[in-house]
Amino acid sequence: MIHVLITAGADLCRDNPETTASLGLLWGLERRGIRWTQMLPGHNQPDLDPYDAVLSWWGKPGKRRYLFEHSHVGHIYPRTPAPNRVPFERKMAERCARLGIPVVNPLSGRLGMRHSTCLQAWSRGGVPCARFQTFASFEEVTLGYPMILRVDGGSHALGEAFRVGSEAEARAVLARRAEQGGLPLTLAIEFRETRYSDGLYRKRRSYVVGDRALPRQQMVAEGWQVKLTTSILGEPAVSENRRFREQGEEDPELVARAGRLLGPEVVALDYTRQEDGSYLFWEGNPVFGMAGLGDDEKSRFYREATGMTRDECAEEHAVLGTAIADLILERVEQAAAAGPDRAAAGR
């Protein structure tokens, strides 16, 4: 039986509506008969001898996602700081490389991902996306109007992106943002009109796991900011989402390539398939939540917007987890075929 070590910043089994993607991961491992052990905070490196692979997982979305949470017994050792995850996983990845142990979804591939890095990777790789510019001063921006001014990264909230139609409007938005505080607006993106002939906007989310694209949701909204909280309920959203999930992505190779160009081996992509069949990619999310399982507001809204039952949402979680489990098995097989015997490598 394959035994995988999972590094994560929080308890994967913790009951939290924001972390149900972790439950899907565990369900998928169970389906494939993979034994797992989680590595919780620690300053010392783990013994890697019992493990066939390491999976780097985030545990939860959050602003300090790359710092481990303090131990539950931290009050006993108040002067012991929580270890920083970056050097911890870097050292572990180096040890895994020496021992021939595959690291799946390494942290190094997820660090530093912002909206601008996604757009830059897609621009260089020939994946369709809007033109953009990062800026420290608005005088640096040369894009035409209308454009979107947004936080480069941030929490993806509605209040972190603004459509502006003129220089005066742009400067007013920047001045208001400076007065209100919060993360600065440092990314300008050309506004691409993607409204369908029925007056509605569409956006899709798919997961890319290794080389596979897994459809998650097609959202329909009345405004250009298409998110779960702005999606319309009922028709046509329900039938369009059902069709997207049942028939699959029309161009899965393009979606998978867009995900691979970003670096993470597990990523959620947001993009639009326009009415003429062309694609426009918006952003990749190496850390993502999954609504649908619980009684929280987001889950209830997700079920209403998609027409999915709670059981269907659970299956959706398990399908994602199974794809990750299959990726782990594939990487273990590749390591066994390509590398020397682990005992000979110094184990």
Concatenated DSSP letters for 234-293? Answer: STTHHHHHHHHHHH--S-HHHHHHHHHTTS-SEEEEEEEE-TTS-EEEEEEESS----SS
DSSP-assigned letters across all residues of 164-202: ESSHHHHHHHHHHHHHH-SS---EEEE------TTS-EE
In order along the chain (347 residues), what is the average pLDDT of each group of 10 residues? 91 83 96 92 82 88 43 51 80 94 95 94 98 96 97 80 96 94 93 97 97 96 93 94 95 98 96 98 94 93 94 97 98 87 44
Output the pLDDT for position 250: 97
Domain boundary among 163, 190, 217: 190
312 assigned to some structural domain: no
In this structure, are residues 38 and 332 in contact, taking their beta carbons and an 8 Å threshold?
no
| Nearest Cα to Cα of residue 201 among 168, 225, 178, 179 | 225
**Are both 9 and 32 inside the same structural domain?**
yes
**Are both 125 and 273 inside the same structural domain?**
yes
d(CA 174, CA 285): 25
265 assigned to some structural domain: yes
**Are both 11 and 150 inside the same structural domain?**
no
Output the pLDDT for position 63: 43
Burial 122-141 (b: 16+ CB within 10 A, else e): beeeebbbbebbbbeeeeeb
**Are both 32 and 160 inside the same structural domain?**
no
Output the pLDDT for position 313: 96
**Are both 139 and 126 inside the same structural domain?**
no
In this structure, are residues 325 and 219 in contact, taking their beta carbons and an 8 Å threshold?
no
Can you give the CATH number for the domain in which 203 is found?
A: 3.30.470
d(CA 42, CA 71): 8
**Are both 141 and 14 inside the same structural domain?**
no
Domain of 79 in residue numbering reads as 3-110+329-338
Domain boundary among 157, 190, 223: 190
d(CA 4, CA 188): 42
d(CA 307, CA 98): 49
**Are both 43 and 102 inside the same structural domain?**
yes
307 assigned to some structural domain: no
48 assigned to some structural domain: yes
313 assigned to some structural domain: no
| Nearest Cα to Cα of residue 268 among 6, 24, 31 | 24
292 assigned to some structural domain: no
**Are both 81 and 22 inside the same structural domain?**
yes
298 assigned to some structural domain: no
The number of domains in the chain is 3
d(CA 234, CA 13): 33
Q: CB atoms < 10 A from the CB of 321, how many? A: 23
d(CA 230, CA 13): 30
For 209-237, what is each residue's pLDDT tens digit?
999 999 999 999 999 999 998 999 999 99
Output the pLDDT for position 65: 41
In this structure, are residues 164 and 183 in contact, taking their beta carbons and an 8 Å threshold?
no
**Are both 65 and 204 inside the same structural domain?**
no
**Are both 124 and 234 inside the same structural domain?**
yes
For 28-49, what is each residue's pLDDT tens digit?
999 999 999 998 756 788 899 9
Output the pLDDT for position 345: 43
In this structure, are residues 265 and 105 in contact, taking their beta carbons and an 8 Å threshold?
yes
Token code pair at residue 85: 């995850």
295 assigned to some structural domain: no
**Are both 77 and 118 inside the same structural domain?**
no
> In the β-sheet with 201-209, what is the strand arrangement from edge to edge?
212-221, 201-209, 266-273, 279-285
CA–CA distances in Å: residue 130 to residues 4, 152, 205, 252: 39, 15, 17, 20
Instruction: Report the SS3 class of residue 150.
Output: strand
Bridge pairing between strands 147-150 and 103-104? unpaired
CA–CA distances in Å: residue 30 to residues 27, 63, 165, 214, 326: 5, 30, 52, 19, 11
| Nearest Cα to Cα of residue 138 among 175, 88, 163 | 175
**Are both 76 and 31 inside the same structural domain?**
yes
